[in-house]
Structures are given as C-alpha cells and as structure tokens.
Amino acid sequence: MQFDLVAEYYGKLDGISSRLEMIDVLTEMFKKVKKDEIRKLIYMTQGVLAPPFEGIEIGIAEKLVSEAIARASGYTKQEVFAAYKKSGDMGAAAEQIMSKGKLRRMSSNKYELGEVFDTLKKIATTSGEGSQDMKIKHMSELLAASNPLEARYITRFAMGTLRLGLGDATILEALSKAETGERKSKPILENAYNLCSDLGEVGEVLLSEGIKGIEHFRVTPFKPIRPALAERLPTAEEILEKMHGRASVESKYDGFRVQVHMNRKTKRVEIFSRRLEKVTPMFPEISKAAIEELDVNSIIFDGEAIAYNDVTGEYYPFQETIQRKRKHGIEEKSLQLPLHVFAFDLMYLDGEDYMKKPYEERRKKLEKILKEDGLIRTSDERIVTKPKELEKYFENAVERGLEGIVAKELNSLYVAGARKFTWIKMKRSYKGELSDTIDLVILGYYLGRGQRAEFKFGGLLAGTYNDKKDVFETITRIGTGFSEKQMSELQSALQKIKTKHRPARVVAVIEPDFWVEPIYVVTVRADEITRSPTHTCGIEKMPDGSEAGYALRFPRLISDGIRQDKAAADATTTLEIKEMFGMQKKIKISDS
C-alpha cells in the first residue's frame, strides 16, 4: 500500500466529527491494505511503532524535526519555526513548507507504507554517539521524497502527535467490518485483543486466517493480559446478594497495579503496568523476588505494588508509592521506599491457562506458591457469608489506611479487559462526599479570569468514557483544587494537544475555550452526582420530555495533576456514573 494513499485517509479522518464516519473511512482503508502490511498500518494509525509493552517510543524533539524539514526543503530553521509558531502544528508547518520547497523532490517514486514505517522505527531506535545527526539525516531524506500531505503525517508521527482520535474499540469495529462486512464480530476480536494486548497482531491474524484464526488466541507469557476490573456497590448486603451469599473479600491497596510474568529457565521477568507498559526496570526488587521466591517454571499473576514497612506493618500513601515510578535514581529510591507486591489473582502457571478456572481454585494455588513473609505475598483475604462479617473486614481495612475492599465471586473466571459484578469494590467515604473518587478525561480547558487572569489556565472541562459507544461524554467543569504549580503544568501540557475543533469521539453541548485531544486523566472528588441539561454523560429523555445527563456537584481535583498511570479508556465509565448515582440515592434514603 502506497503511503500517499494512507496520508489521504488520515486527511479524511482529521476532518471527521462522527465516530461512525470514522469507522467507514477506516474500513475502506483496511480493505485496501495487504496482509503483510496490516500490522504496520494499525500501529501507525494508533500513533505507535509497537504495542506499549514492547517499550519502543516515538517522539523526536521539535528541534531535530525542524532541522530535518529545513534540510529537506531548503528553508532555514528560523523559517520553519516561524511557520510552526504560526500554525501551532509542526505537521502543518511541514506541509506548508514542503508545498513550496526550494529544493526539487528527491525522487519521483512513491513510498510504500512499510518503507515509511521502517524508516520511522529506525529513527526511533537509533542511539549512541552521532545518533542525533543520523535521526536528522533519515528524517530529512524521508521528507525530501514525500509529497506535502505525506510530510504532514510523517512529521506528526515522528513527534508523537499524530492523534487521529481513534480508540481501540473503533479500530476493532472497523477491522470486523472490513473482514465480514458487519461490526458484529467485534466481541470476538476484542477477546483476542484482551489476551494479547496487541491490535497489530489481531489485525494480522484476522486478514491471514479470518475469524477462525482469531478464535484460537491463547494466553502467552510476556504478552500482557488486559486487566479484569471491578464494579461498585454501596452496601455489604447488596454485595453478598450479587455473590449468592458467599464471597471472598480482599483488602484494596492504593498502589500500582502490576502484572508479573516470569520464566525460571530463561530467568526472564517482565512487569507490566495497568496501562500495559513495561515497567520492569523501575522495580528491580520485584524481579529479583520473582526469581528467588517463586518455585515454579513460568507464571503470570496480578497484584498491587505498594510501599510498605515490613517492621511496623505500615502502608505508605499513594503519594509516597508514586515516587517509585521513575527512570533515574531507581536503586536509591528502592532502598528508601521498598515495594511489596500483594498478589490477588493467578492467570497462568507452568503452561496452563488459569483464567478459565474458578477464582477459589486460582486463589488456593496462589497461596501455595507464595511465601507468607516474602516480598511477593498474597493479599489479605477472608471468606464471608454475612453482611456484618464483610462490614467488619471493610472497617478493619480502612483503619489500616487502605482504600477499602474488593469482593470476588468464588466460582467466577478471570474476565480480561472487562468490568463485571464478579469483582465488586467498596471504598471508604468521607463526610459530604461521594463514596469513591472519579477518574475523568480532560476534554478541554478554560482561560484564567478574575484572580486567575494572569494564568492562561482557569479550569477544565472533563468527561467520562462511554465504553459501549467508544466516546467521551462531558460531566463537569473543574475549577477548584489546583495549586499554582498544577495550573502551570496543566497549561503547558494541554497547550500541546489543543485542537481547532471538537474531537470526533467527544460528545458535548457546551464548549470550553479550547478543546484538547482526550488522552489525559485526572482524579476528582465531588459531593454528589446530579442530573444536568448541559452535560452529555448518560444523557436521556426525562419524564417531562426534556433531556438530561449526569453532572458532579462541587468537583475538586485531588490527583497530583495528570494521572500518568491511566489511559483515557481507563477513566470512570458512563455506566459506572449511572450506578454510582443509583447507590447515592440508596445511601441518602438509608441515612435519613
């Protein structure tokens, strides 16, 4: 597939404000790609060179990109930067400059998709002495042989700012439609994706082997499994009712969600974050403990890593634990804040898929494998049959400084990438607040006014993720809870992802001063959830014929700025908000 055709499709996607139209454009593009190119096309469309767990990052500094554009076009770096400053988009600047370049196009031959992708990967992986010059050389040669539209998207991709506004679910639906003519095969594709976390691999198998090939996906060590998620319920009675009167109850730790893969024969250990990024180098003590403490050949388990004092039994707050997520000073920080992993589920052991076994069996096996006093140990757990037992365990967890509890149905399977009532969380609440924090996606921001007029940032427009429709829906404006430092940091981060129009996957009836790409997550607290005619979260017709969604009353930021450990698709869902609204009403009735 020639890259100029890919660039044309990207141009169409850039101008679309409807998700269904996006699916149609993607479907058409996927129908034209060759089987041996689909993996690269999917990665490029996602704006990546590989799935997150491979750790290959693209993101060339604007200084190097501007030098490459200057070499390819015959213009000066100052002229390139002037065009960039005017448009605010280096891709648009590259397109403009290459359209009137002073140098002749290097070649009349058209690039194939694979050639562009391979060159960009070479640029990303070039390191060592003289690497900057090599990056500029490869980039300038690529641009010099490209047409202006190709230059726009090559530049954006190289800088890590392609952002076509596509979610994983949207790509999966388009793949289904391209292969079968309908979107109904998406659940089968999604199941395969949940097991391998690699959209490129799913697309490649689909085009090569059809739907039958997709049905054969299996758990594979060192390919992270998309994590199972918990639902919410407000009372012990409701939880036990859902669990048919008997449940496993575990402490809920406020740390890093980690998925650990280990092979004893090769002495390989990989640790993946909730976002499925490889974080192994950050936590050397966990890798060491996995080899030394686990007497198995190969394993995949799910757990929570938290800074913990083994002598005092003290769990450190998340603000302390988060300091361990770093690229420098790792050894020193690991001595200051040693992590423990509290394992709570087993997915794979010695060649056997444990996800298909009942939770009770998975838990018992995990307890046999792990040492009680090891750095990796099982989470606290108790089997309960009465609401008072569950409440007592919950209160004890809160007293120890933990978030709350997670109840699990004893006969349930491990459902990757899904939120089911087989896992139910109950978290501590504070007077005058909702019983849980809410993770929201930043959709736009407002300029500072009044006392904040000196800042170019005055507040956020934030929303929930509707995972059924793969769109983001507004739920609140956030204007409080920001320190001056956070305001400055948010302003700097959001300026880089401003868009001229509302992104296609954002559903809104109100407008901020600036729209942004929906990629960043923040955590908020609020007093309650109310109905609102101005927000689109869960919008529906009311008895009087009007339409109303859900909104937050008195929201305030509580996270330390942007949550780096969560992707937009990890945000609180619209369905969760509806459920929390229902729980809130029950709590008010019981309180009265």
pLDDT digits (tens, 9 = 90+) for 80-89: 999 998 888 9
In the prediction, which pLDDT does 523 show? Answer: 92
Q: Which of 461, 437, 466 is nearest to 524 (CA)?
A: 437
Residue in 40, 135, 186, 252 annotated catalytic: 252
Q: Which residue ranges in the chain fall short of pLDDT 70?
A: 103-108, 429-433, 435, 449-455, 585-592
Please state, in angstroms and rounded to a whole number, the distance separating the CA atoms of residues 269 and 585.
Answer: 47
Strand partners, 70: none
Please state, in angstroms and rounded to a whole number, the distance separating the CA atoms of residues 240 and 242.
Answer: 5
Three-state DSSP class for residue 412: coil
Q: Is 252 assigned a catalytic role?
A: yes
- Please give the domain boundaries of the chain with CATH numbers for all domains: 229-427 (3.30.470.30), 438-591 (2.40.50.140)
In the prediction, which pLDDT does 338 show? Answer: 81
Please state, in angstroms and rounded to a whole number, the distance separating the CA atoms of residues 27 and 22.
Answer: 8
Residues 6+ apart with CB under 8 A from 6: 29, 41, 44, 113, 116, 153
Please state, in angstroms and rounded to a whole number, the distance separating the CA atoms of residues 103 and 75.
Answer: 9
Please state, in angstroms and rounded to a whole number, the distance separating the CA atoms of residues 339 and 348.
Answer: 23
CB 99 within 8 A of CB 148: yes
In the prediction, which pLDDT does 309 show? Answer: 79
For 144, phi and psi rounded to 5 degrees?
-65, -25
| Alpha carbon distances (Å) from 409 to 75, 163, 228, 360, 577 | 65, 39, 13, 8, 23
Q: Which of 349, 345, 348 is nearest to 363 (CA)?
A: 345
Q: In which region does residue 163 sit, left (phi positive, over 0), alpha (psi from -120 to 50) or beta (all else)?
A: left
Is the pTM of the predicted complex or chain greater than 0.75? yes
Q: Would you say the C-alpha torsion 273, 325, 523, 525 has a positive or negative sign?
A: positive
Please state, in angstroms and rounded to a whole number, the distance separating the CA atoms of residues 97 and 93.
Answer: 6
In the prediction, which pLDDT does 257 show? Answer: 94
Please state, in angstroms and rounded to a whole number, the distance separating the CA atoms of residues 398 and 389.
Answer: 15
Report strand pairing: 404-409 vs 247-252: antiparallel
Q: In which region does residue 59 sit, left (phi positive, over 0), alpha (psi from -120 to 50) or beta (all else)?
A: left
In the prediction, which pLDDT does 590 show? Answer: 46
Please state, in angstroms and rounded to a whole number, the distance separating the CA atoms of residues 561 and 567.
Answer: 14
